[in-house]
Amino acid sequence: MKKEEILYKYEKRKDNVLYILHEFQDLNPYNYVTDDDMQLIADYIGIPYSKVYGTASFYSMISEKPRGKHIIRLCDSPPCHLMGSIDILDVIKEELKIEVGETTPDMIFTLEKTACLGVCGVAPVMMIDDEVYGNLTPKKVRKILTEYKEGTK
């Protein structure tokens, strides 16, 4: 009953909703929160399901749909765009054969665009899970993706 354990860590206050959502999502092998999760949180805190769903759907770091094992977040805000992030995006799309917002059929990768990650000193930048990769070139991206595919990362 791991989910209950998570719930009991938190006081029954609305400002804990986002934290519980984060923890439930991390627990899920497909990196998302289910309807049942949201209902569970709503019942625990004592607020309507719609409030929990409203919070979950607002933030880009929380997903209500299943996602891949690894989440690729490519930055395309102006500093990265200027340094060629679109070329990097094209390489990722080509390598994984998915569009932004999609997940590979084997459920390994989900491709997302992200707002500025604040590491613009090494633009263009992407984040895979918690790891930041900078100074990207098409060659470097292919190598990184291969490492993830082969499971060495």
Partner 1 sequence: MSVVTKYVLFGIDDNTLQAGARRVEEEFKRELKNAGLDDEIKVVETGSMGIIQKGVVILVEPDDIYYTEVTIDDVKEIVNEHLLKGRPVQRLKFDGKVDKSVVSFRESAQEIKKQNRVVLSNSGVIDPENIEEYIAVNGYEALAKAVTEKKPEDIVEEIKESGLRGRGGAGFPTGLKWSFTAPLDKKPKYLVCNADEGEPGTFKDRLIMEGDPHKLIEGMAIAAYAIGAEKGYIYIRGEYKLSIERTEKAIEDARKYGILGENIFGSGFDFDIEIKIGAGAYVCGEETALLNSLEGGRGNPRVKPPFPGQVGLWDQPTVVNNVETLANVPSIILNGHDWYREMGTEDSKGTKVYTILGHVNNPGLIEVEMGTTLRDIIYKYAGGVKGNFKCALVGGAAGAFIGKEMLDVKMDYDHLGKYKAVLGSGAILVMNQTACIVDMLKNTLAFFKHESCGKCTPCRIGNVHLYNMLDDITKAKGKEEYINNMLTLAESMQQSSLCALGQSAYLVIESATRYFEDEILEHIERKVCPQNVCEMK
Site residues for partner 1 per CB under 8 A: 13-19, 21-22, 51, 54-55, 58-62, 76-79, 81-83, 113-123, 127, 130, 132-135
Q: Tell me which H or E stretch contains 128.
A: strand 126-128
- Contacts for 10 with CB less than 8 Å, ≥ 6 apart: 16, 19, 20
CB of 101 to partner 1, least distance (A): 12
CB of 67 to partner 1, least distance (A): 14
Residues in the chain: 153
Nearer to partner 1 by C-beta: 15 or 106? 15
- Contacts for 66 with CB less than 8 Å, ≥ 6 apart: 30, 31, 32, 103, 107
Any binding-site annotation on 107?
A: no
CB of 79 to partner 1, least distance (A): 4
Amino acid sitting at position 50 = S
Any binding-site annotation on 120?
A: yes
Nearer to partner 1 by C-beta: 109 or 133? 133
Residue with tokens 């409030």: 51
Nearer to partner 1 by C-beta: 23 or 95? 23
Q: Output DSSP code: residue 136.
A: -
Which residues sit in the known binding site? 75, 80, 116, 120
